[in-house]
Structure 1
């Protein structure tokens, strides 16, 4: 999978997760959802960029594998 395609898929996954968790955790008041979900949606591209273009997935995978070796 290309880097851009991986970025888009990661960003869509983050956005879906933010909307679902935000709608379950926050009150149904539209104003509170906008004020809390909007900043999360604006920071999601930063995390997606770090995971795809700065080898964040490899770092996370290495951390999981090192935890498995310690057992």
Structure 2
């Protein structure tokens, strides 16, 4: 996920930028690390929980966040 006003339009645009890549040891961290390595795009990885990552994106502290998983079930 990226901000609409952030200027990121491709994976390559994230080179050198801070990216929230999931909590330490999570599946999204493994996926994110492999994705950027395979694409040869070095990023400034930040290991954040989803809520922290969303707040960081809103506050312009990261330029993107990667996340995978389910959504809470509505009751």
Higher relative contact order (CA 8 A, sep 6+): 2
Pairwise same-fold verdict (TM > 0.5): no
TM-score with structure 1 setting the length: 0.32
Name whichever structure is richer in strand by fraction: 2
User: Greater Rg, structure 1 or structure 2?
Assistant: 1
| TM-score, structure 2 normalization | 0.30
